[in-house]
A = this chain, B = another copy of it.
Amino acid sequence: MPTDPAPTRIQKKNRAAILEAALNVFSAQGFRGATVDQIAAEAGLSKPNLLYYFPSKEAMHNALLEALLDTWLDPLRALDEDGDPLEEILAYIRRKLQMSRDFPRESRLFANEIVQGAPRIHAALSQDLKALVDDKVTLLRGWMAAGRIAPVHPYHLIFSIWALTQHYADFDTQVRAVLGEEDPFDGAEAFIDTLYRRLLHPPG
C-alpha cells in the first residue's frame, strides 16, 4: 500500500492557514452556521482553493475535531497516580482552566458540537473519552479508599471540573457581561482552588 507523499511547503502553509481560519469560523458560528466562503475569506484563499486542500466543509470540521480531541484530554491523562492526590487534582484543574484561557476557540468548537448532540463525535465520546475517564475514576476511587482525599462521586467530580473550567471559555460573553472590567480568570483560579480544597480535604 502506497504512503501519502510528503506535503510540499505550500501544502503545509495552506493547510495550516485553512484550519486556523476554519477554527475561527466554526467556533464562532457552529458547523451549520459557518460557510466555506467565510472560511476562505478568513484564510485569504479562494473557495475552490479550499476545496482543493479539503474535499468538503465537513472534512475541515473533522480534521479540526480529530486533531483537538486528543489535545483536549491531555490534562486529564497527565493526572499522576504517584503524586500527592489533592495536589494532582488541583494541578489538573489549573491545566484545564489554562486551556480555557489559552484556547477558547477550541473549547467553543467542542461546546457547539456537544450542545447539539455531538452528531460527529459521539463514537469518540463513548469510546476514547469514556475509557480515559473510567481509568482515572479507578485512580480517584483508590485515593478515596485510602483516605487520601474525601470520598465523593468520582464521575461527578470530573464533570464538575469540566463544567467549571470550560464555563469560562464557552460562556465568556455572559461572564464578561456580568463581571464588567475584572478579568474572569484571575478570580476563577482562586475560587476554584478553594472550592476543591474544601471539598476534597482528607477526612479526620
Residues on A lying within 8 angstroms of B by beta carbon are 28-33, 108, 111-112, 114-118, 122, 125-126, 129-130, 133, 152-153, 155-157, 159-160, 162-164, 166-168, 170-171, 173-175, 177-180, 182, 187-188, 190-192, 194-195, 198-199, 201
Do B117 and A173 touch (CB < 8 A)?
Answer: yes
Give the interface centre of A108, A178, A182 by most chain B CB atoms within 10 Å.
A178
Contacts of A28 on B, CB cut-off 8 Å?
A: 116-117
- Complex Cα distance, B134 from A182, in Å, reads 14
Do B30 and A178 touch (CB < 8 A)?
Answer: no
Can you spell out 27 A-B residue pairs with CB atoms less than 8 angstroms apart?
A: A28-B116, A29-B32, A30-B116, A111-B171, A112-B112, A115-B171, A118-B173, A122-B177, A125-B173, A125-B178, A129-B177, A130-B180, A133-B178, A153-B187, A153-B191, A155-B178, A156-B188, A156-B191, A159-B167, A159-B175, A160-B164, A160-B195, A162-B167, A163-B164, A163-B166, A167-B167, A195-B199
Do A114 and B192 touch (CB < 8 A)?
Answer: no
A118 shortest CB reach to chain B, Å: 5
Contacts of A112 on B, CB cut-off 8 Å?
A: 30, 112, 115-116
- Complex Cα distance, B33 from A171, in Å, reads 20
Do A155 and B179 touch (CB < 8 A)?
Answer: yes
With A118-B174, A178-B130 in contact, do A153 and B190 touch (Cβ < 8 Å)?
Answer: yes
Contacts of A129 on B, CB cut-off 8 Å?
A: 174, 177-178
Contacts of A108 on B, CB cut-off 8 Å?
A: 115
Nearest residue, chain B, Cβ from A173: B118
- Complex Cα distance, B199 from A112, in Å, reads 31
- Complex Cα distance, B130 from A31, in Å, reads 30
With contacts A125-B173, A155-B179, A198-B199 known, what are 20 further pairs, Cβ within 8 A? A29-B32, A30-B32, A32-B33, A111-B111, A115-B170, A118-B174, A122-B173, A130-B177, A130-B180, A152-B191, A153-B187, A155-B187, A157-B191, A159-B168, A159-B178, A160-B191, A163-B164, A163-B167, A167-B167, A198-B201
